[in-house]
Chain A
Amino acid sequence: MTNSIGEIRNADFLFVIGSNTSEAHPIIAMEMKRAVRRGGTMVVADPRKIWMTTIAEKHLQLNPGSDVWLLNSIAHVICEEGLADEAFIRDNTEGFEQVRETVARYSPEEAEVHTGIPAEDIRWVARKYATTPKAGIYYTLGITEHSHGTDNVYALANLVLMTGHLGKPSAGMNPLRGQNNVQGANDAGATPVFLPGYQRVDDPEAHAKYEKSWGVEFPSEPGLNLNVMMKEVGKSIKGLFVMGEDIVLSEPNCMELEKGLNNSEFMIVQDAFMNETARFADVIFPASVFAEKEGVFTNSERRVQRVRKAVEPPGQAREDWRILIDLANACGAGWTFESAAAVYDEMVKDADKFSGISHARLDAMVSLPKTGLQWPCPTPDHPGTTFLHEEGVLRGKGLFTAVEYRPPAEVPDEDYGLYLSTGRTLYHYNSATQTRRESGLDEKQSEAWIEIHPRDARRRDIKNHDKVRVSTRRGSVEVRALISRQVQPGCIWMPLHFGEARANVVTNDAGDPVTDTAEYKVCAAEVHRIEEGTAPDGLYPGTFYGLDAPV
């Protein structure tokens, strides 16, 4: 996030796209609700009706995968009607002319044909966004989990740059992070391209610094991205160490991955629970959950916050950081860290963005208003950074990137006539290793389902609660059908949390060309009725019922 969670409540215009905020980020949704209650205007762009649409001024119910058409046509209106912030563009950006030329071909009228959104609504949103000073964009995986995910992000960034909604409170470009520490994992350098603090591993200076610091030589060519690595398992990748992720459940096209794991030679799994991946492991280390260890998580707004040990791990389970030190030393590394705090101190020593942060400093902040420190925080007396780009764009000039519409990698056809999209629900979390072990949460949502529009259900002779088979070119799963107008005709939607109906058996692993992020949000599918179902005990499909709720 360029801006902070606490600023959301003061936003006057909120453009929420590809984010089911009230289910995936409930506390950020509360901040948005506060902004709307205060008088702010919210626009939600999502193929599906979600709770947030009930308080939105407008719901842009776009066709799946037509995001670039929508965003470029908004940019088109901003340019055409002279609403761009020419001074900001001149002083802070480069590459605008090319974007102006490109979006000139994306008129709202033609966008209406591709997105299904009335041209007048597109114009209205463009005017409102461009002319409201405190206007923020909020997005999540509905933007990025596409074969054109990077294009979507560029198209959003173009809107931010051409309106100058950057480096100001309650504005900016705000991806809401999905995992507790997805920011921190990247900050710490657990990526094939970056060392800690986003220093490129192929940058000779950074690479030399770390070789000196660690006293070893290591390669400077970037490694494999996770999605590529998963496709290489059993091929060029013969040995895996997997900590705290159920890759078999969460990686796309998992049938291929299972085959690869059977062909690989050695795998270590370090986890608190047995999971689908652990079935393939040669060694399993019993690990800890967050309540059993010291450390820090870094949230969406770059805020580094303490995790504290409240209870002891069960049996012989150990804190993950201790296991990693033990493993390194079993391999002859000779690591001498005695605490998580000491590991953190080593990390920040060579990474300036965090070097003002330490466990000791964070612990001293518990009782102050606001806890934690937001990086960049280079020195022990630096207060941290609430929003980025205040003193001008960080990289020097904000770079516009013109993008053209590309259709999703797979669209409905005669054999597979429906768009399938997948997502999260409020009551479960990712592969649900934790949440499906909660009796209360399981009471609320105990089994997998799809939402299907009454029109599509009628054509397939599917009644509410029937058992159905969802098939794609990759595989099929059996789930319960819920007749719902939350989805639009031609679209079905399915939650990703349920191991017995793994969404990733059916999702497409076609990746974005830059990030390799798979297209979890769009693929072609078909639904067949298997048998009649009765009303389930304890299936509360979502937080949004609305007037069109299934009967």
Chain B
Amino acid sequence: MIERTEHDVQARAAIKSIDIDGHSVAFSAGETILEAAQRAGVEIPTLCHDPRLEPAGACRTCLVEVEGQNRMVPACKTPAADGAKILTETERVDRHRKTLLALYLTDHPRDREVAERGAPNELLDMADRYGAPRNWGTMESKRDARDTDRNPYIHFNADTCIACARCTRYCEEVEGVSAITLAGRGAETTIATADSLSLLDTTCEMCGGCVDVCPTGAMGEKMPLTRSAKPERELKKVRSTCNFCGVGCQLDLNVDEEAEGGNGRVVKVTSPPPGTTTNDGNLCVKGRFAYDFIHHEERITSPLVRNENGDLVETSWDNALRVAADGLRGVAERHGANALGFVSSSRCTVEENYLVQKLSRAVFKTNNVHQCAAT
């Protein structure tokens, strides 16, 4: 044993550390075992956990052993204690995980075709990973599904709900509207609204956070389901920036590449993981659900010019560009460059705004260029 100096002891007190499966992990006050483990790259399974939410300790998948304690503890809810020795891969932990997941599966669809009609199913992934038995018998789910809810966006599939309450806690803690709540007891515990109202008639703001946090797709998006879109795992995700307000939320456009004759179709929008972007994985009703305009039938699909009768008619790009160039030059020749005005757009990209002001200044020699930032 190495003799410690007084200085060493002080330094050690300042840097608190916890031992997880033999790795020494430094932690700061208030951190949980789970947070320390995640930082050290030690995987502890969770279903009800989300970094945006207060720990609930509800799903019990994160139970780990603490040396010297008889009972296992939930890693998500237990504060890291200096010098504690945590064991996450013992025979007892493994037995607990298999048992727990097998119990979850008794009233859960096990066929991925059924269980993953919408989003990927974390419970099935976890059952595969930890080798949970799948032959423990089956029982019908007793949860009330509120099938008649006429809201346009959010679908509740009671069969795949595991009552982890991520959705209801998100609704209360992050969105702050408490539109949905846990109701019923035991196997009948379900996700409900007050008096089983449609979400349209509650305080719900349709942010879809419940859909985002759900680990099993029980809270799902209606539109892809009713349109029989491909399940999420078969879609290509393209990270982009939302085109509505100025927050700049990052979102993933989920694209069916074969649709629209190979042009691709956005069939869903999902949010990046919490903690990785400015929006922390959150989106609002517009960012998450307003994507139908992209493929709307009223899109302009051809250049148009006004003919001698005053009607707008379809034309070729070459002709439209020629008429446009002649029109602008004509005004400049007749009235001078400052008779032209260029209205750029804060809805378009930085590059496009750069090009409009360069067009105005360098090509037409006027500084009459602006956009709606003025209003």
Contacts and interface: CB of A to CB of B under 8 A. Distances in A.
Interface of A: 4-6, 22, 24-28, 30, 33-34, 37, 55, 145, 176-193, 195-196, 201, 210, 214, 216-219, 221-227, 229, 232-233, 236-245, 247, 250-252, 265-266, 268, 271-274, 281-287, 289-293, 295-301, 303-312, 314-318, 320-321, 324-328, 330-331, 333, 340, 343-344, 346-347, 366, 368-372, 426-427, 429, 433-435, 437-441, 443-444, 515-518, 520, 538, 540, 543, 545
B186 to A, nearest CB: 30
B293 A34 contact: no
Given A216-B362, A333-B362, A441 B286 contact: yes
Contacts of A265: 327, 330-331, 334
A229 B341 contact: yes
A416 to B, nearest CB: 23
B286 A435 contact: yes
B373 interface: yes
A269 B139 CA distance: 61
22 contacts: A26-B245, A27-B284, A180-B347, A181-B353, A216-B363, A216-B365, A223-B360, A237-B339, A241-B328, A241-B343, A245-B372, A308-B253, A321-B349, A321-B352, A327-B321, A328-B363, A371-B278, A372-B250, A427-B286, A435-B290, A518-B375, A545-B203
A520 B279 CA distance: 29
B216 to A, nearest CB: 23
Interface string B281-322: 011111101111111101111111110000010000100111
A289 B243 contact: yes
B321 A429 contact: no
B247 A25 contact: yes
Contacts of B367: 192-193, 201, 218-219, 221-223
B324 A180 contact: no
Contacts of B138: none
A346 B353 CA distance: 13
Do most interface residues of chain B lie in helix, strand or loop, or is the interface mixed? mixed
Contacts of B277: 370-371
A244 B347 contact: yes
Contacts of B260: 311-312, 314
Given A30-B282, A311-B266, A283 B366 contact: no
B289 to A, nearest CB: 6
Interface string B344-372: 11111111111111111111111111111
Contact of B349 (A239, A296, A366, A438): A296
A515 B374 contact: yes
B242 interface: yes
A290 B335 contact: no
Interface residues of B, number: 118
Given A177-B246, A227-B374, A331-B328, A295 B284 contact: no
A193 B371 CA distance: 12
Given A330-B325, A444-B200, A237 B341 contact: yes
Contacts of A182: 246, 346, 371-373
B343 A372 contact: no
Contacts of A237: 339-341, 368
A145 B375 contact: yes
A189 B367 CA distance: 10
Given A289-B293, A429-B244, A520 B207 contact: no
B338 interface: yes
Interface stretch (B17-25, B27-35, B69-77, B173-181): B173-181
B240 interface: yes
Contacts of B285: 26, 426-427, 441
A296 B354 CA distance: 11
B323 interface: yes
Contact of A283 (B247, B286, B304, B343): B304
Contacts of A371: 239, 250, 276-278
Given A216-B362, A238-B335, A438-B293, A189 B353 contact: yes
Nearest to B290: A438
B314 to A, nearest CB: 9
Contacts of B219: none
Contacts of B301: 286, 314-317
A494 B304 CA distance: 35
Contacts of B247: 5, 25, 27-28, 176, 299-300
Contacts of A545: 203
A372 B278 CA distance: 9
B340 A239 contact: yes
A265 B317 CA distance: 21
Given A272-B299, A285-B320, A192 B368 contact: yes
10 tightest Cβ-Cβ pairs between the two chains A and B: A315-B301, A299-B248, A177-B246, A295-B349, A223-B367, A244-B345, A239-B331, A440-B152, A26-B284, A311-B264
Given A295-B349, A317-B300, A347-B350, A245 B278 contact: no
B319 to A, nearest CB: 9
Given A30-B175, A221-B367, A283-B305, A226 B374 contact: yes
Contacts of B350: 181, 184-185, 187-188, 295-298, 304, 344, 347
